[in-house]
């Protein structure tokens, strides 16, 4: 998939403006299209990783609300991650309209033509990954039942053309997205690095459901209602990492007893409640350190640790380096 050109228009200029892409050397597999200067500042960067795999990085800050027409992508699965701003999306073949905010991920198959609205004076950034479904066939052969249900339905065509938000972006995925944005290489090494990161991103995207199904598939006594409540407990932890509830309070908020929560959480996630919390805290800490806006002490406090030595020890245990390495 290559983005050769795009069509823009604005509220004050109802006529479509077409922008042609420039090839970025020495990265011949990479193209960039610029937002017309009279509409603001922005670019769309398209990176063809290999046949059946591509990245699109969209960074737009228009000085008036603009519309971007996107063509049909019926041969690809699309995984999108919205990093800042807001996007209003309308399908061209129906009246379906939805808004996507910062921090949300989306997945679609057989994406129809769409009209994207970028609001005035809003800095909107998102990354989209296009994957040919045939690249995922090896996963389906023996392990299709372990994939997220939404993905399995999309791959088998059971859901037709689906497009829309799927949930929050996890800290571990945020780290990979940031690494893709800040790739330190050029030429063939950049190409190789980005392909590895796309595969890592897919693994992280599928991992929560895959691991959960692998744990409780065929041998669990958990009801579907229990599983939903355990996933809700995960959401509570993700939103309250710096000041999490006790196990009893978490069970109460999720609507499940604490014994079933402890046992079921390990079955669904492959980790204990507080083991999961610790990993998410460390992932967020790494993301903050890579951003470089906070020092180690500030990051430790931000993710809920009062004792710096304890934080540093846990960080090294998870990533193999001390957090201070990010500022050396």
How confident is the model over 2-46, as pLDDT tens digits?
555 566 666 666 655 655 656 555 567 888 888 888 888 888 888
Q: In the CATH scheme, what is the homologous superfamily, with its name and number, of domain 5-213?
A: Jelly Rolls (2.60.120.10)
Per-residue pLDDT, 326: 81
Non-local (6+) Cβ contacts of 143 within 8 A are 210
Per-residue pLDDT, 214: 46
Radius of gyration of the chain (CA): 21
Non-local (6+) Cβ contacts of 276 within 8 A are 234, 237, 265, 269
Tell me which residues of the chain have a pLDDT lower than 70.
Answer: 1-27, 71-75, 93, 109-112, 137-165, 208-221, 327-328
Q: Is the whole-model pTM more than 0.85?
A: no
CATH number of 218-327: 1.10.10.60
- For 110-131, letters b (16+ CB in 10 Å) and e give bbbebbbbbbeeebbbbbbbbb
- The structural domains of the chain, with segments of one domain joined by +, span 5-213, 218-327
The number of C-alpha atoms within 13 Å of 287 and in the hemisphere containing its C-beta is 20
Cis preceding-peptide flag for 30 (omega within 30 of 0):
no
CB 89 within 8 A of CB 100: yes
């Amino acid at each position: 998939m290559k983005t050769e050109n795009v069509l823009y228009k604005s509220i004050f200029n109802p006529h479509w403006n077409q922008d042609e892409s420039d090839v970025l050397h020495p990265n011949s597999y990479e193209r960039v299209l610029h937002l017309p200067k009279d509409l603001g500042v922005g670019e769309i960067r398209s990176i063809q990783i290999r046949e059946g795999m591509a990245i699109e990085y969209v960074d737009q800050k228009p000085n008036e609300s603009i519309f971007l027409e996107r063509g049909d992508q019926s041969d690809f699965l699309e995984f999108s991650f919205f990093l800042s701003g807001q996007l209003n999306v309308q399908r061209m073949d129906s009246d379906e309209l939805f808004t996507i905010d910062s921090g949300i991920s989306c997945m679609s198959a057989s994406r129809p033509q769409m009209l994207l609205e970028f609001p005035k004076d809003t800095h909107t950034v998102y990354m989209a990954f296009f994957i040919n479904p045939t690249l995922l066939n090896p996963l389906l052969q023996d392990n299709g039942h372990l994939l997220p249900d939404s993905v399995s339905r999309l791959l088998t065509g059971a859901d037709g053309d689906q497009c829309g938000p799927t949930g929050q972006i996890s800290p571990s995925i945020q780290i990979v997205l940031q690494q893709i944005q800040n790739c330190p290489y050029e030429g063939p090494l950049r190409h190789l690095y980005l392909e590895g990161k796309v595969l890592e991103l897919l693994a992280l995207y599928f991992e929560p459901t895959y691991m959960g199904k692998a744990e409780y598939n065929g041998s669990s006594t958990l009801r579907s209602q229990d599983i939903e409540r355990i996933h809700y407990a995960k959401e509570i932890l993700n939103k309250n990492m710096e000041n999490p509830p006790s196990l009893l309070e978490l069970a109460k908020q999720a609507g499940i007893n604490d014994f079933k929560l402890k046992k079921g959480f390990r079955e669904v996630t492959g980790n204990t409640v507080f083991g999961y919390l610790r990993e998410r805290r460390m992932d967020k800490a790494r993301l903050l350190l890579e951003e470089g806006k906070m020092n180690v002490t500030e990051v430790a406090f931000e993710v809920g640790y009062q004792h710096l030595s304890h934080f540093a020890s846990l960080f090294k245990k998870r990533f193999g380096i001390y957090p201070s390495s990010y500022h050396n």
